[in-house]
C-alpha cells in the first residue's frame, strides 16, 4: 500500500510545482513585456519600495556576507528583471517533470 501513496504524493507535488512554474513563467513574460526594456531587478525593486535603495546600498559586514553580497546578490540585481522569475519557473517545471515522469524507487 505504501508505493501507491508515494505515487500519489509525487503526482500532487508535481502538479503543484508545475502550477508554480507556470506562474513564474507568466510573471516573467509580463515583466518582459510591460516593463521598460533593459530594466534591472534592482531598479524594479527600487520602484516597488523606495526605502529599499538605502538597504541595498548599505555594505554588508565583513566575512562571508560580504563575499556572498559581491559575488551573488549584486550580479543578480544587475540582471534584467524578468530573468529571476524565468529561472525559478524553469526550475519548478523541471522538478515537476522529474517527479511525475520518473519511476519511484
104 neighbors 33 (Cβ within 8 angstroms): no
* pTM, to two decimals: 0.78
Beta bridge partners of residue 10, listed in sequence order? none
78 neighbors 46 (Cβ within 8 angstroms): no
The secondary element (H helix, E strand) that includes residue 44 is helix 41-48
Distance CA 34, CA 8 (A): 39
Grid coordinates in use for 59? 555594505
Structure confidence at residue 1 (pLDDT) = 45
Mean pLDDT by 10 residues, the chain (105 residues): 70 94 97 90 88 75 75 88 95 94 72
Region of 63 please: left (phi>0), alpha (psi -120 to 50) or beta: left
Amino acid at each position: 500500500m505504501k508505493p501507491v501513496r508515494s505515487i500519489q504524493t509525487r503526482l500532487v507535488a508535481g502538479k503543484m510545482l508545475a502550477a508554480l512554474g507556470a506562474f513564474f513563467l507568466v510573471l516573467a513574460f509580463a515583466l518582459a513585456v510591460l516593463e521598460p526594456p533593459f530594466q534591472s531587478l534592482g531598479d524594479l525593486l527600487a520602484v516597488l519600495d523606495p526605502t529599499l535603495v538605502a538597504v541595498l546600498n548599505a555594505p554588508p559586514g565583513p566575512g562571508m556576507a560580504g563575499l556572498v553580497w559581491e559575488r551573488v546578490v549584486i550580479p543578480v540585481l544587475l540582471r534584467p528583471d524578468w530573468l529571476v522569475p524565468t529561472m525559478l519557473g524553469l526550475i519548478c517545471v523541471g522538478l515537476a517533470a522529474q517527479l511525475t515522469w520518473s519511476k519511484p524507487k
